[in-house]
Structure 1
Amino acid sequence: MSTSARPTARRRVLAAAGATAVLALTLAACGSSAHSGMPGTDHGAMAMPSASASGPTASAPGMDGMPGMDGMAMGDGLASEKDGYRLDPQTGSLPAGQAASYRFTVTGPDGKPVTGFAVDQTKRLHFYAIRSDLTGYQHLHPSMAADGTWTADLAALQPGTWRLYASFTPDSGSGKGKDFVLSRTVTVPGAAGTTPLPAAAMSTTVDGYTLDLQGELMAGMAHPLTLSIGKGGQPVTDLQPYLDTYAHISAFHEGDQAFAHLHPETTVNGDHGGPTLNFHAELAKPGNWRVFVQFQTGGQLHTAALTLHVN
């Protein structure tokens, strides 16, 4: 894994244009490896098996090239098609209570499956799953067959409606260099209870680690955000690079499941990350966001969850 931050298409700064844009922040891309997981029936992060939005936004004056900013150029991830690119699944339902494979293609403007994808944070496609009540989070990196069919191996899903997101950048064609986040919903049959969203809080714990966030978030305005990580009352300074960064945040808006992922602007320097990671955050939608923070120590991926409120 590279120990230096390098620019990617997702590190261009594109500010939100209108209420459909979601987030521009400073965090790295996605992955699964050794992990810690919490039961998918609550608001913790579901175990993530190893496997390997849309609407345009405009750049705000003076924002292009700001270090660490990760603009969601293609919107909030709620559309299944954008600029001729379409997420085409093989099924609209998945079984409950057991591992299942979700197969899909990304169809291009020419009507054919796309097979060429740019590598972003060591992966060609990043895949997320979340239930409608924002429980059961999964973050995967699917494998792609030669014909362009992707297979995401999901851990057991609880009954209900799930939204599945694919984040990618074509490396050819009309979409070359553009970031896309497309999604579809699937139904998991059975009695689907609803878990209330936990109250908003600026701190949480996972695997003995304490995470504290500092910063006041207001919709449509960029604000600094700081994440501090400690353990046993001591600051953590041994964060390991996780797909070219020291942390990854996935955020989902309560109600419509608008999606954003965030990357810290802190420079990666070997296994010496922490105890603080700095972000610039812009969330265009007010309300509650369910946030999943991933970081790695000692070869283990930890996933923490908390609710943030945006005024």
Structure 2
Amino acid sequence: MNTGLKITAFTAAVAATFGTAYGVGRGVDPVAAEKKPASEHGGHEDGGGGGGEQETPTETAPPGGLQISERGYTLALKTPRIDAEKREELRFALVRGGKGKNVTAYERQHGKELHLIVASRDLTTYRHLHPTRAADGTWSTPVELPRAGGYRVFADFKPTGAKEGLTLGADLAVAGEHEPRALPEPNRKTSVDGYEVSLKGELKPGKSSALTLDVERNGRPVTDLQPYLGSYGHLVALRSGDLAYLHVHPTGEPGDGRTKPGPGVSFAATAPSEGTYRLFLDFKHEGQVRTAAFTVQTGTTAGAGAEAGEPPESHDAGHAH
């Protein structure tokens, strides 16, 4: 194996690899402005402004997470660089308006005021974190990332009084020996901590479609999944190349009289464009949250019997509750 490059060369390497995707959120492939799906702009319904202010409606919008600023809000990452393999504090704030005032009032969504996703640019490392907010609006959370390289930080939130939520993204540099990895091959089955998870359904560009993820352990269906963030599963999809963010939830919830606690967890998802996506399913069983990861291509039907895939790296460290 070749010796990894030092982080001093990292910025240039990323710029050469991703071009304008690194820092401004444009993909490797050109992406035209798309109509925003009714339920999946960062996992939120369409609507107007934040903080009770009226916003000008638009017919098109980019997918979630590609912009650091949107509708008068900015993700201010106060820790833009950390070291690999070290537990460090990640700090940030959501800033509103030209005066730079921190947002201090949020509506709870799925049990939390804010969901923080951290993913490596090669989509092999994934974290779903729930940071703590200080009185001045500064958020913080400990994080330990296993490998150096380029990462993207996503803040999924809804300010109090806003008609819809937002997903903003910012780049994070992780220092250390850096060796790029290829995107894992498309897969329909994956294993994590003795659990086997299979993906059924087809991810379609610009059209809502059903995805079902079945959880088994030791060859037996898991029928006693536990609620996590108000549902039996939590799904995040990231587009390869620019990491456009799609945040969806199941088509049912615990206690609704029709949704069973496994083995299947169903979602309605819409891909913003054709391409390859990395899907991360968080599910809870016997008191522990685990993450199953899949690589899928739009227009490809997924069913049982496919090859096992590679789980996200160091997944167990990826949840803070």
- Judge conservation of contact 2:80–2:172 (CA < 8 Å) in 1: yes
Q: Which has the higher contact order (CA 8 A, sep 6+)?
A: 1
Question: Aligned ranges for residues 111-126 of structure 1 at < 5 Å?
Answer: 111-126=100-115
Q: Quote the offset at 1:259 in angstroms.
A: 1.1
> Matched residues in 1 for 2:95 and 2:287: separation?
36
In the alignment, does 2:98 pair up with 1:104?
no
Give per-residue Cα distances to partners, 1:120-146, cap 9 Å, x unaligned: 111001101111111221110000110
Q: What code does the residue aligned with 1:234 have?
A: R
Q: Count matched residues.
A: 252
Residue pairs, 1:1-311, within 5 angstroms: 18-19=33-34, 24=39, 58=59, 75-109=63-97, 110-172=99-161, 176-269=162-255, 273-311=261-299
Quote the Cα distance in structure 1 between the aligned partners of 2:124 and 2:214: 24
Residue 190 of structure 1 and its aligned partner are, at CA, apart by 2.7
CA gap of 1:168–1:131, structure 2 versus 1, over 3 A, is same
TM-score norm. by structure 2 comes to 0.72
Letter in 2 for 1:242: Y
Structure 2: which 5+ runs fail to align?
Answer: 1-31, 45-56, 300-321
The question of whether the paired residues in 2 share the 8 Å contact of 1:77 and 1:183 is answered with yes
Mapped contact 2:248–2:268 kept (Cα < 8 A): no
Relative to its length, the structure with more helix (as a share) is: 2
Q: Which runs of 5+ in 1 are unaligned?
A: 1-16, 30-55, 60-72
Change (3 A) 1:124 1:260: same
Give the TM-score taking structure 1 as reference length. Answer: 0.74
Contact 2:65 2:154 in 1 (8 A): yes
> Displaced runs of 4+ in structure 1, greater than 4 A?
20-25, 56-59
**Contact 1:100–1:156 (CA<8 Å) still a contact in 2?**
no
CA distance in 1, matches of 2:43, 2:231: 5
Q: Deviations over 1:198-224 (max 9, x none)?
A: 111122111222211211222112222
Structure-1 separation of matches of 2:63 and 2:145: 29
Who wins on radius of gyration, i.e. which is larger?
A: 2
- Over aligned residue pairs, what C-alpha RMSD do you find? 2.6
The CA distance in 2 between the partners of 1:254 and 1:156, in whole Å, is 20
- Compute the displacement of 1:22 (Å): 7.9
Q: Is the 8 A contact 2:124 2:184 kept in 1?
A: no
* Alignment CA distance shift 1:23-1:98 (3 Å): farther
